């Protein structure tokens, strides 16, 4: 019987090859997106599975209750907790603390930003990160780095034995380099500084039991010790420390153990969380895949029901010959499963094509182990998808009564005469158009941020990372080059988030204002064409040491009156340095477009300058770039030159082209499925009306009249889909834009474009098929029974 089902299914698929291709492509596209989501989910479940003692490692989480009875959970805990657990309880085999550190790391004459942590020496007794070279450090004052970090700092030089320095950490000798593996971990790092116990205990209030937001605590239990024993101890410690608690806004806190295996995916939102993917994000990804697959299933249902009358006659004849309903049901389900298996093969090919994409590697499948379990999940998912897609048409067609279907020409109807297949077409194009409006909005916003007007000069300005080259030395080599208009520098290029400091009008003020501060070099205002609205530019030399420039927003935040009134007034930086306002610059967008314009302070200190900025005259770009590179190479012959035009820097930072390409791929799949479904429906509709078209042509109907007759119902469906999608798409786009302080608008340029694309695609599909039917020879149509 199964063999007969297979033979009939193959013959049916081959006979209606166009509909089969449409169904296979649609199902394969949906399966491919679902496979990416499934692989990501598997990767999330595999986090930290490479540690030898994974089942015995726990992270201590802190739950707090505020005096307003609000609850929150922190992934961090007090630093003394780790020592207390290891010292006082025999069932704890080991413990370690992990503290996030900040600030640039200096090594090999370079100053760069890295993801850094300070850890106990016992850290490597808990975790099993693989070593590429060197050895695991056993004492404080040492560090381990990743292979990528070693390459950035030392190039091909052996980093073992080299010294790294970070503010607050001091000097650390590199003893080991960790492998760049694809294994996934909730703890990501570039550099781990190993500190002595005494030093890490003093780190950021580390001796204070009431400071629970500084570092992470991990414990390794002895074999055969249950988590309940640890929980009992944590409850006792919580009660003991709550009796001493004297925090201003905290009523009480408690500790609980979180097993390493349960950290990823994250099922709750933890303050100071690490790098594990949230469960909600994984479900959203799976939702996108299921919606895509659902659209493909719509096509299958739609096309199968569209051919309902021809299949209904088949059902009638088979029932008349004695076939039972479950046998007919099995036949149609078998066809669906065979199609899904063919779609699985095509989905594999499509998966191989999208796997190299940077977005896919970084955010979805990087580090995922493609083992037999994952492939088995893909196959099972494909079969289940085929069964579910074929179940509805199979049930509908298998319950037709022979007498009714052999004499009746009525189609399938649902609520109040609305055709089910027409409803599915509307749903498909509505989903596709909503996605298109959202994607176009994202693309326009990112293009706006990449090429928008920031208020400072970015065209023909070179950004050159200095490394350990003194600013004055490189500036002396470049200033007099032909084509160079101005030379200056800054601690961090505009368009980035920058760093903030607490600023006060008076040293003893209790309410400081957070302001963005940048160290700059002389001629900065001229180099970036900034506008002074009052006061004067900073003078060159030591006379500028205690002078600053602020923006108009800082004048408002500090309540300094007008811009002219602010000149000459004093401010305190971080409670330690008094400076005087020399001038006020016109407001401009110096950070990301996510934020409104914030208070800005520019202080002339070449010691803090990390990037040189060179303003170049029009027409001299190529020459100056080459000469600047030569000057750099003379000073640093063994380092690569990384100078970049400022407008290119802004474009690369904000365009996110890899993300856009992947989203465009999803949109293309969505529209392809919808358009192929429409093509199949129009093709079938014209085929079933061939005799009608022939009669109308014989009676004198024109080609245009016949085209409109055949296509008007489909045009109505596209119009209905647009009417549904336009407001929903606007809401989806606005939900994305609301997080930006400065953003594009969603108007006719977006909605009109998307509506036009919908009409053009739909119109081409409808018109090409209906024109062919309208221009065919009516004699052939009338002679074909």
In this model, does residue 417 exceed pLDDT 50?
Answer: no
Q: What is the pLDDT of residue 428?
A: 81
Tokens of 743: 């953003």
Instruction: Check residue 33 and give its pLDDT.
Output: 87
Q: Which region among 20-24, 625-629, 684-688 has the lowest average model confidence (pLDDT)? A: 684-688
Residue 498 confidence class, pLDDT cut points 50, 70, 90:
low
181 and 297 assigned to the same domain: no
Tell me what the mean pLDDT of segment 645-659 comes to.
84
The reply to whether 252 and 344 lie within a common domain is no
357 shares its domain with 335: yes
Residue 556 and residue 513 share a domain: yes
| Extended beta strands in 67-169, E state | 71-74, 92-101, 105-107, 110-112, 116-119, 131-134, 142-146, 163-166
Q: Dihedral sign for Cα 742, 746, 747, 752, please.
A: positive
159-176 pLDDT, tens digit each: 999 999 988 788 899 999
185-221: per-residue pLDDT in tens? 899 899 999 988 777 666 655 567 878 888 899 999 9
CB 606, CB 560: distance < 8 Å: no
| For range 273-296, the mean pLDDT | 83
Query: Which of 320-334, 392-406, 705-719 is least confident?
Result: 392-406
With respect to residue 420, please indicate whether it lies within any of the assigned structural domains: no
| Residues 80 and 213 both lie in one domain | yes
- Write down which residue in 211, 227, 262 finishes a domain: 262
Average pLDDT of span 549-557 = 93
257: helix, coil or strand?
strand
What separation in angstroms does the CA of 217 have from each of 19, 58, 84, 97, 115?
Answer: 59, 8, 11, 5, 18
End position of a domain, from candidates 221, 237, 262: 262
Across 202-216, 236-250, 441-455, 701-715, the highest mean pLDDT is recorded for 441-455
Where does the pLDDT of residue 348 fall: very low under 50, low under 70, confident under 90, or very high at 90 and above? very high
150-to-45, 133, 143, 639, 642 alpha-carbon distances in Å: 30, 11, 12, 14, 18
CA dihedral 13, 16, 22, 27 (to 10 degrees): -20
d(CA 612, CA 472): 10
Residues 612, 466: contact at Cβ < 8 Å? yes
pLDDT in tens, 25-71: 888 888 888 898 888 888 888 888 889 999 999 999 999 888 788 88
Which among 521, 462, 456, 450 is positioned nearest to 642, based on CA atoms? 462
Split at pLDDT 50, 70, 90, the class of 268 is confident
User: Which is nearest to 189 in space by CA: 128, 277, 117?
Assistant: 117
Residue 393 has pLDDT above 80, yes or no: no
Residue 9 has pLDDT above 70, yes or no: no
Beta bridge partners of 178: 131, 146
Residue 413's pLDDT is 43
Look at residue 1 in the predicted model and tell me its pLDDT: 57
Q: What is the mean pLDDT of the chain?
A: 83
Whether 644 maps to a domain, the answer reads: no
In the prediction, which pLDDT does 781 show? 57
Report the number of distinct structural domains present in the chain. Answer: 3
Q: Tell me the C-alpha to C-alpha distance, in Å, between residue 397 and each of 125, 313, 774.
A: 65, 10, 31
Examine the fold and report which residue of 610, 635, 660 is the final residue of a domain before the chain moves on. Answer: 635
For residues 186 and 290, membership in a common domain is answered with no
pLDDT of residue 502: 78
The alpha carbon dihedral of 394, 376, 344, 420 has a sign of positive
Residue 403, burial from CB neighbour count under 10 angstroms (0-12, 13-18, 19+): exposed
Lowest mean pLDDT among 40-49, 206-215, 256-265, 591-600: 206-215
Low-confidence winner among 303-317, 623-637, 755-769 (lowest mean pLDDT): 303-317
CA–CA separation, 122 and 48 (whole Å): 18
d(C-alpha 772, C-alpha 751), whole Å:
32
726 found inside a domain: no
pLDDT digits (tens, 9 = 90+) for 472-483: 889 988 988 999
Q: What is the pLDDT of residue 724?
A: 93
Q: Has residue 552 been placed in a domain? A: yes
**Model confidence pLDDT, tens digit, residues 217-234:** 999 999 989 899 999 999
The residues that bridge with 74 in the sheet, in sequence order, are: 62, 271
In a domain, 498, yes or no: yes
Domain shared by 68 and 3, yes or no: no
248 and 318, same structural domain? no
Residue 234: inside a domain: yes
97-101, 292-296, 564-568: lowest mean pLDDT where? 292-296
Confirm if 390 and 646 have CB atoms less than 8 A apart.
no
pLDDT above 60: residue 785: no
36 and 97 together in one domain: no
Q: Are strands 116-119 and 191-194 parallel, antiparallel or unpaired?
A: parallel
Most confident of 21-30, 53-62, 497-506, 733-742: 53-62
| CA atoms of 760 and 763, how far apart (whole Å) | 5
How far apart are the C-alpha atoms of 291 and 300, rounded to whole Å? 14
Give, in degrees to the nearest 5, the angle at Cα 167 between 161 and 171.
20
> Which letter does DSSP use for residue 562 in this model?
S
More confident site: 123 or 513: 123
pLDDT at 783: 59
Domain assignment of residue 495, yes or no? yes
What is the number of H-type helices and E-type strands within the chain? 25, 24
Q: Hey, what's the torsion of the CAs at 32, 443, 759, 301, to 10 degrees?
A: 20
Average pLDDT over residues 746-775: 85
pLDDT surpassing 80 at residue 596: yes
Gap between the Cα atoms of 701 and 774, Å rounded: 10
- What is the domain range of residue 355? 1-47+278-412
Percent of the chain with pLDDT over 70: 89
Write down the residue that tokens 């400022």 correspond to: 646
Residues 667, 738 contacting (CB under 8 angstroms): no
Question: What pLDDT does 615 receive?
Answer: 95
For a pLDDT cut of 90, what percent of the chain falls above it? 26
The whole-number pLDDT of residue 414 equals 36
Do residues 61 and 170 both lie within one domain? yes
Do 103 and 39 fall within a single domain?
no
Burial of 276 (0-12, 13-18, 19+ CB in 10 A): buried
The answer to whether residue 600 sits within a structural domain is: yes
Q: At which residue do the structure tokens 């088949």 appear? A: 314
Least confident of 318-332, 514-528, 732-746: 318-332
User: Does residue 578 have a pLDDT over 80?
Assistant: yes
Q: How confident is the model at residue 358 (pLDDT cuts 50, 70, 90)?
A: confident
Give pLDDT, residue 416: 39
Is the domain of 159 the same as that of 291? no
Question: What's 264-325 look like in SS3?
Answer: CCECCCCECCCCCCEHHHHHHHHHHHHHHHHHHHHHHHHHHHHCHHHHHHHHHHHHHCCCCH
In this prediction the pTM is: 0.72
Q: Identify which has the larger pLDDT, 259 or 417.
A: 259
The string of DSSP letters for 673-692 reads HHHHHHHHHHHHHHHHTHHH
Kindly report the length of the chain: 785
Confidence of residue 311 (pLDDT cuts 50, 70, 90): low
């Amino acid at each position: 019987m199964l063999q007969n089902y297979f033979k009939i299914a193959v013959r049916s698929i081959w006979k209606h090859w166009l509909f089969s291709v449409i169904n296979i492509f649609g199902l394969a596209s949906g399966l491919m997106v679902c496979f990416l989501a499934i692989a990501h989910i598997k990767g999330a479940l595999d986090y930290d599975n490479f540690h030898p003692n994974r089942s015995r490692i726990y992270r201590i989480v802190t739950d707090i209750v505020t005096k307003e009875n609000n609850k929150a959970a922190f992934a961090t805990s007090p630093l003394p907790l780790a020592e207390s657990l290891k010292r006082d309880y025999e069932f704890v085999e080991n413990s370690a603390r992990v503290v996030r550190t900040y600030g640039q790391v200096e090594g090999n004459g370079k100053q760069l930003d890295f993801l850094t942590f300070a850890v106990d020496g016992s850290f490597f007794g808990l975790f099993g990160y693989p070593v590429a070279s060197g050895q695991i450090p056993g004492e404080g004052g040492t560090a381990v780095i990743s292979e990528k970090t070693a390459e950035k700092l030392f190039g091909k030089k052996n980093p073992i034995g080299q010294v790294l320095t970070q503010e607050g950490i001091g000097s650390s000798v590199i003893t080991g380099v960790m492998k760049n593996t694809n294994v996934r971990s909730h703890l990501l790092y570039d550099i781990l500084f190993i500190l002595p116990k005494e030093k890490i205990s003093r780190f950021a209030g580390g001796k204070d039991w009431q400071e629970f937001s500084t570092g992470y605590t991990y414990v390794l239990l002895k074999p055969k010790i249950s988590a309940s024993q640890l929980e009992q101890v944590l409850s006792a410690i919580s009660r003991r420390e709550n009796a001493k608690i004297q925090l201003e806004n905290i009523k009480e806190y408690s500790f609980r153990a979180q097993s390493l295996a349960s950290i990823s995916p994250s099922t709750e939102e933890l303050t100071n969380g690490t790098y594990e993917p949230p469960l909600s994000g994984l479900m959203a990804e799976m939702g996108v895949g299921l919606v895509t697959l659902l659209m493909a299933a719509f096509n299958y249902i739609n096309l199968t029901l569209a051919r309902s009358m021809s299949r209904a006659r088949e059902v009638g004849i088979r029932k008349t010959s004695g076939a039972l309903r479950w046998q007919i049901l099995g036949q149609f389900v078998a066809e669906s499963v065979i199609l899904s298996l063919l779609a699985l093969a095509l989905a594999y090919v499509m998966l191989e094509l999208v796997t190299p994409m940077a977005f896919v590697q970084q955010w979805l499948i990087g580090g995922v182990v493609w083992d037999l379990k994952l492939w088995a999940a893909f196959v099972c998912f494909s079969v289940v998808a085929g069964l579910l897609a074929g179940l509805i048409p199979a049930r509908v067609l298998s319950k037709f009564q022979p007498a009714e279907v052999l004499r009746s020409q009525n189609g399938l109807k649902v609520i109040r005469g609305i055709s089910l297949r027409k409803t599915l077409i509307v749903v498909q194009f509505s989903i596709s158009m909503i996605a298109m409006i959202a994607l176009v909005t994202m693309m326009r916003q990112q293009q706006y941020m990449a090429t928008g007007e920031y208020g400072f000069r970015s065209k023909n300005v070179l950004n050159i990372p200095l490394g350990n080259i003194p600013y004055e030395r490189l500036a002396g080599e470049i200033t007099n080059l032909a084509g160079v208009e101005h030379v200056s520098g800054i601690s961090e290029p505009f368009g980035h988030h920058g760093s903030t400091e607490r600023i006060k009008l008076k040293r003893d003020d209790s309410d400081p204002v957070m302001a963005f501060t940048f160290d700059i070099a002389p001629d900065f205002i001229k180099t970036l064409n900034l506008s002074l609205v009052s006061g004067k530019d900073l003078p060159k030399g030591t006379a500028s040491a205690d002078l600053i420039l602020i923006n108009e927003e800082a004048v408002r935040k500090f309540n300094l009156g007008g811009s002219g009134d602010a000149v000459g007034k004093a401010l305190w930086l971080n409670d330690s340095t008094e400076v005087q306002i020399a001038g006020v610059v016109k407001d401009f967008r110096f950070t990301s477009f996510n934020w409104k314009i914030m208070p800005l302070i520019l202080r002339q200190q070449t010691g803090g300058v990390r990037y040189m900025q060179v303003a170049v005259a029009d027409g001299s770009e190529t020459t100056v770039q080459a000469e600047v590179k030569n000057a750099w190479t003379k000073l640093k012959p063994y380092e690569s030159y990384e100078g970049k035009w400022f407008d290119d820097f802004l474009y690369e930072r904000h365009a996110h082209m890899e993300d856009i390409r992947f989203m465009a791929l999803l949109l293309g799949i969505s529209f392809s499925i919808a358009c192929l479904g429409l093509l199949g429906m129009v093709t079938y509709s014209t085929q079933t009306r061939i005799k009608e078209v022939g009669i109308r042509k014989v009676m004198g109907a024109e080609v245009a009249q016949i085209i409109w007759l055949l296509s008007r119902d489909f045009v109505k469906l596209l119009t209905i889909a647009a009417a549904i999608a336009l407001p929903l798409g606007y809401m989806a786009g606005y939900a994305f834009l609301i997080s930006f302080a400065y953003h594009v608008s969603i108007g006719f340029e977006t909605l009109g474009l998307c509506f036009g694309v919908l009409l053009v695609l739909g119109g081409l599909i409808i018109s090409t098929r209906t024109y062919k039917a309208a221009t065919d020879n009516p004699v052939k149509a009338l002679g074909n029974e």
